[in-house]
Chains A and B, each alone.
Chain A
Amino acid sequence: MSVTLQCPGYPEDTLRSLADRLPCRETQLKSLLSLMGQPDQYSYPSFFIYGHRATGKSHVVLSIMKDLELPHASVDCVECVSSGLLFHQVLSAFFGPDAAALLPRCPSLSDFVRLYKQMSSNSPATQTRYIILDRAERMRDMDFSLLPALLRLQELVNDNVTVILLSEIVWEKFRPNTGCFEPLLFHFPDYSKVELVQILSWDHHPSYTPELYASYINILLGVFFSVCRDLRELRHLAALNFSKFCEPLEKGEAKESDIHKLWKNIEPHLQRAMQTVYLREVSSVQWEQQQMDEKEATTLRVLSAHAHIELPYYSKFLLIAAYLASFNPARTDRRFFLKSHGKIRKTNFLKKHEKTSNHLLGPKPFPLDRLMAIFYSVVDSRVAPTASIFSQISSLVTLQLLSQVGHDDQLDSPKYKCSVSLDFILAISRTVGFDVVKYLYDFL
Chain B
Amino acid sequence: MSKRRSAALTGAQGVSLAQKLLRERLCHQKLPDQPVGLDSQYKHMLELLRRTAVHGESNSVLIVGPRGSGKTMLLGCVLRELMSLREVQKNVLLVELNGLLQTDDKIALKEITRQLHLENVVGDKVFGSFAENLAFLLEALKKGDKSSSRPVLFVLDEFDLFAHHKNQTLLYNLLDVSQSAQTPVAVVGLTCRLDVLELLEKRVKSRFSHRQIHLFSSLSFSQYVDVVRAQLSLPPDFPDPKFSDEWNHSVTKLCDDKTVEEILRRNFNGSKDFRSLHSLLFLAVSRVSVSHSTLREADLIEACRLISADSKANVLHGLSILELCLIIAMKHLNDTYDGEPFNFQMVHNEFKKFIQRKSHSIHKFEKPVVMKAFEHLLQLELVRPVDSGVCKVQREYQLMRLMLEHGQVMEALQKYPQCPTDVKQWALSAFG
Contact = CB atoms under 8 A, between A and B. Distances in A.
Contacts of B100: 109, 145, 148-149, 156
A145 B103 contact: yes
B161 A360 contact: no
A44 B369 contact: no
B315 A145 contact: no
B279 A363 contact: no
Given A143-B103, A360-B345, A278 B20 contact: no
A8 B290 contact: yes
A44 B381 contact: no
Contacts of A184: 279, 282-283
B111 interface: yes
Which range holds the interface residue count of chain A?
Answer: 35 or more
B265 interface: no
Contact of A419 (B276, B307, B319, B393): B393
A168 B320 CA distance: 15
A78 B391 CA distance: 21
Given A38-B16, A40-B20, A109 B101 contact: yes
A417 interface: yes
Interface in A277-324: 278-279, 281, 304
Contacts of B192: 178-179
B275 A274 contact: no
Contacts of B99: 145
Among A55, A186, A229, residue most surrounded by chain B Cβ atoms (within 10 Å): A229
A279 B369 contact: yes
A421 interface: yes
A362 B345 contact: yes
A35 interface: yes
B6 to A, nearest CB: 18
A187 interface: yes
Contacts of B318: 51-52, 55, 189-190, 229
Among A114, A179, A190, A362, residue most surrounded by chain B Cβ atoms (within 10 Å): A362
Contact of A44 (B160, B279, B306, B312): B279
A204 B44 CA distance: 72
Nearest to B309: A187
Given A34-B286, A275-B366, A168 B345 contact: no
A110 B343 contact: no
A108 interface: yes
Contact of A228 (B107, B193, B320): B320
Given A45-B27, A110-B111, A169 B102 contact: no
Contacts of B401: none
Contacts of A228: 320
A38 B27 contact: no
A422 to B, nearest CB: 11
Interface of B is mostly: helix
B289 interface: yes
Contacts of B346: 360-361
A50 interface: yes
Interface residues of B, number: 71
A43 interface: yes
A187 B311 contact: yes
Interface in A167-198: 168-173, 178-182, 184-187, 189-190, 192-193
A50 B318 CA distance: 12
A359 interface: yes
B34 interface: no
Contacts of B276: 182
B29 interface: yes
A203 interface: no
Contacts of A148: 100
B349 interface: yes
Contacts of B369: 227, 274-275, 278-279
A403 B27 contact: no
B8 interface: no
B380 A169 contact: yes
Contacts of B397: 361-363
Interface in A388-444: 400, 403, 405, 417, 419, 421
Interface in A41-58: 41-45, 50-52, 55
Contacts of B366: 274-275
Interface of A: 6-9, 34-35, 37-38, 40-45, 50-52, 55, 108-110, 113-114, 143, 145, 148-149, 154-156, 168-173, 178-182, 184-187, 189-190, 192-193, 225-229, 274-275, 278-279, 281, 304, 359-363, 400, 403, 405, 417, 419, 421
Given A51-B318, A170-B312, A227-B369, 11 more contacts: A8-B289, A44-B282, A52-B380, A109-B103, A181-B275, A184-B279, A184-B283, A190-B318, A229-B318, A361-B346, A421-B394
Which 8 A-B pairs give the minimum distances between C-beta atoms?
A362-B397, A190-B318, A170-B311, A226-B321, A110-B101, A149-B100, A52-B318, A145-B100
15 contacts: A41-B16, A50-B311, A51-B318, A108-B103, A143-B103, A170-B314, A170-B315, A178-B192, A180-B67, A187-B311, A190-B317, A229-B318, A275-B366, A361-B343, A361-B345
